[in-house]
Amino acid sequence: MFIDTHCHVEEDKISKEEYIRHAQEAGVSCCVVSFCDPKELSKVEELVSVSDSYYVTVGIHPEYAMDVQESDFSLLEKMLEKKKVVAIGEIGLDYYWDKNHKEEQKDVFRRQMVLAEKWKLPVVIHTREAMNDTYEILKEFPQVHGIMHCFSGSYEMACHFLSLGYLLGIGGVLTFKNSKLGEVVQQLPLSSFVLETDSPYLAPEPVRGTMNESKNIPYIAEKLANWKGVSIEEVAKVTSKNAIEMFDLPIDL
């Protein structure tokens, strides 16, 4: 059994029912869907009611930091009470998207870290061209743990995040030809990782370039198994256990 710890379901391209059916056929029995656009937070309940296999994370992505309203924070906090909301995310810093509003991004990020502390929830971290600033902010909240979503940094950065109690979300990037991530994961124990697709983006090889779905998780697992020199079953078992513990999912392995 696999768990996709990070995906987005684009309902104009595929129905929620079909998406989960494809995933289950591929052995992916749980999909954690990321809701990080304040305008979409209200769709959470509708999605989780479709299937027991859907869980969600809710948060305000750094790309919305400039336009965020106080009402967005109140709605977010209201959503945290809901069943099947397992983390705050994805939240963080994205200087690739916008270099000119770093302070606004940091402010929105910190406010959500405070919420994670208050609600005792893990966080899912998005960081792009902002690894050091992200690390500095995470250090301010030693009580909070979570997942470094779509991790693609160095071995040293991986160790920094692991020592703060974060897991590394490993996705399609691991399967790409020029990726350096393989050499990084090879040096770390399986207990450091969870699997994710970040669908509909970043489809792994050999389906790169198509619309990604949770059903593609086995391609990523297979690559991780190769790098680690273990069976795909071992990858499934350990990464699912990691996800279940991090998100406190009511799932038996």
**Footprint on this chain of Zn ion (rule: CB under 5 A):** 34, 198
The minimum distance between CB 34 and Zn ion, in angstroms, equals 5
Instruction: Give the nearest distance from C-beta 70 to Zn ion in angstroms.
Output: 25
Nearer to Zn ion, 57 or 239 (CB): 57
Segment (H or E) for 192: none
Least Å distance between CB 33 and Zn ion? Answer: 9
CB count in 10 Å sphere of residue 149 = 25
Closer residue to Zn ion (CB): 37 or 234: 37
Residue 241 burial class via C-beta count within 10 angstroms: exposed 0-12, middle 13-18, buried 19 and up? middle
Residue 176 C-beta: closest distance to Zn ion, Å? 17
Q: Minimum distance between the CB of residue 62 and Zn ion, rounded to whole angstroms?
A: 12
Residue 4 or 198 having the CB closest to Zn ion: 198
Tokens 């969870």 identify what position?
194
5/34 with CB nearer Zn ion = 34
CB 41 within 8 A of CB 35: yes
The least CB distance from residue 248 to Zn ion, in Å, is 20
Between 196 and 225, name the residue whose CB sits nearer to Zn ion: 196
Cα dihedral: 204, 97, 86, 31 (round 10): -20
Report in angstroms how near the CB of residue 226 gets to Zn ion at its nearest. Answer: 25
3-state DSSP percent of the chain in helix, strand and coil, to 5: 45, 20, 35
Question: By three-state DSSP, how is residue 130 classified?
Answer: coil
Judged by beta carbon, residue 201 or residue 233, the one nearer Zn ion is 201
Distance of CA 150 to the CA centre of its chain: 7
Residue count of the chain: 253
Give the closest residue to 72 by CA, choosing from 117, 37, 25: 37
* Cβ–Cβ < 8 Å for 253, 244: yes
Nearer to Zn ion, 171 or 225 (CB): 171
Q: Residue type for 52, please?
A: D
